[in-house]
Structure 1
Amino acid sequence: MPPRRVVTGRSQEPRLRFAEELRLRRRQRGESLRQLGQALGWDPSLFGKLENGQTIGGPEVAEALDQHYGTPGLLLTLWELAVGDPTQFKERYRRYMTLEQEAVSLWHYAVSILPGLLQTPGYAREVLAASGTKDPELTQQVEARISRRELLADEDAPTFRTILSEAVLRMTLADSGEWRNQLQDLLEAAERRNVTLQVLPYASGPHGLVSTDVMFLRLPDGSVAAYTENAHHGELIEESNSVETLLRAYDAMRDLALSPVESRKFIIRMLEEVPCDPST
């Protein structure tokens, strides 16, 4: 397929195109950021960050801007493209993110952190902040991570299995309310027809993936890729022999995990241990 011919001279990267369109629409109106903020009821700094590409905001902001500028659906569509744009992720994740969008099934093992596909905004923010990420990059990364959840919500969503080490559920958040929300969200996710969630208890003992987070992706051509990760490094593995070695370790570990039903009971017990907010 020949490369797309550039006609408008505007960016072909969805995130940058969204920012450019917002700047264009506001300037055509002759509005300042302050006037735009007053008209829509948001802090003007939000619109500055949107136009600078520091954040993409939420769908409610895009919808409000569509109504304000008389562009029904245009800005919301550009926002949706920006949310799903793999270029918003760091370079080492880009190839993986492209494959994740193409995968027909995924299966995963978590050593200490929930998979991004199941993280709530509060969980993602606390985990990313703990790694030293600060605003505005923190907000951008949280938005990018949460946007991945849509992959499992589509009508043609791939099947997804995750096995969570007990350590994942023992490492609570500092904010007990956010931790409660995350556990409740896990229970709701496990009820989806395309999601299978299992817990690997400490009592299962050592196994071949004891220190390795891994995601497997079955692609439309039947091939399988794997992505392994730790706190400092991620590696996409596509060579078949290396993937097969990881698959054998995963299958052996899966035999040690609790059943989906018992795993749900385990999470419910964890939820019951979370302190209640006395103000509620």
Structure 2
Amino acid sequence: MPPRRVVTGRSPDPRRRFAEELRLLREQKGDSLRRLAEVLGWDASLFGKMESGKTLGSPEVVEALAQHYGVGDLLLTLWELAVGDPKQFKEQYRRYMALEAEALSMWHFGVSTVHGLLQTEGYARALLGAGGIAGEELTRQVEARMGRRQTLNGDDPPQFRTILSEAVLRTSLTDTEEWQKQLEYLVEMSERPNITLQVLPFSAGLHGLDSTSVIFLRLSSGCAVAYTENAHRGELIEETASVERLQRAYDAVRDRALLPDASRKFVMRMLEDVPCDPST
């Protein structure tokens, strides 16, 4: 079979192809980076980093660019292919972990699961196992996650706020004993001075983070970054306008959440409802 002929001359690497397409579309339209920033409302530096391949941007930015250039779903399709590169997610996650270690404060919102820093070993094992991890790799990742919990237990731990959707507390483990331990651990951690736990009840209705788990890290430089994720991938967001947009959505969620005392009582009621193990 003859080798595949290169038709377009574009890079076969999804990330590079996405960056090349962005640069080509802007040049064809005759826009400068500054002009693009004025029209769309994001920093010119973000578009420059996207065109150089240093960042992929968020789907909101990509959608705005697609509308500006009038290319339909082309850019979003290329973006999805680019962020599907496992190496990209590993690089982003490594950078996120480095930033987490130096963060002065963290604000988290969980759609369906407890944040890793507040997970018990049993919960972490069940969650990672549900994602298809098994054997030695599962043991290694659980141990690593348990080691991360020391972030909140040091001599000068960061301030940590977590807002948990009621769905998190309604999605119990099949092992009732491990689920009880997880709820007890949430109550215990919520009593620490550097940790604030809030619950967003179902009665709060729809909100801007309905499908987004996010954590914000406030760094010593005074800047904040955000990390959003779902079961299959995550994205580190550093561009100021995008972080601020997520922050406004987070603030609205916090305003609807139960106050810390009421939230602790909510978790304790959930704990009381855990079925007793008939074997004990």
Q: CA deviation at 1:279?
A: 3.0
Measured in 2, the distance between the counterparts of 1:143 and 1:126 equals 13
The CA deviation at 1:92 is 3.7
**How many Å separate the matches in 2 of 1:182 and 1:91?**
30
2:211 counterpart SS class:
coil
1:263 aligns with 2:263: yes
Report the equivalent of 2:229.
229
Which residues of 2 match residues 126-141 of structure 1 at below 5 A? Answer: 126-141=126-141
Deviations along 1:77-99, one digit per CA (max 9) or x if unpaired, are: xxxxxxxxxxxx94441000000
One-letter identity of the residue aligned with 1:219: L
Structure 1 length as normaliser, TM-score? Answer: 0.67
Distance in 1, Cα, partners of 2:194 & 2:278: 36
Q: Distance in 1 between matches of 2:91 and 2:113?
A: 21
The code of the aligned residue for 1:241 comes to A
In structure 2, the residue matched to 1:103 is: 103
Name the CA distance, whole Å, in 1 between partners of 2:254 and 2:144: 29
Q: Does 1:122 align with 2:128?
A: no
Secondary structure of 1:95's match? helix
Measure the CA separation in 2 of the matches of 1:146 and 1:90.
Answer: 19
Deviations 1:35-62 (A, max 9, x none): xxxxxxxxxxxxxxxxxxxxxxxxxxxx
CA distance in 1, matches of 2:173, 2:274: 10
- State the 1:148 CA deviation: 1.0
2:162 is paired with a residue whose SS is: strand
Residue 199 of structure 1 aligns to a residue whose secondary structure is strand
- What residue number does 1:214 align with? 214
- Matched to 2:217, the amino acid is L
Task: Normalising by structure 2, report the TM-score.
Answer: 0.67
Residue by residue over 1:203-254, the C-alpha shift from the partner in whole angstroms, topping out at 9 and shown as x without a partner, is 0000011100000000001000000001111000000000000000000110
Tell me which amino acid in the other structure corresponds to 2:259: S
1:194 aligns with 194
Within 5 Å, give how 1:134-149 maps onto structure 2. 134-149=134-149
Q: CA RMSD in A?
A: 1.1
Q: Which amino acid aligns with 2:160?
A: F
Residue in 2 that maps onto 1:47: none
Offset at residue 276 of structure 1 (A): 1.4
Deviant stretches of 4+, over 2 Å: 89-92
Counterpart-to-counterpart distance in 2, 1:118 and 1:147: 11
- Please, which runs of 5 or more residues in structure 2 have no aligned partner? 1-88
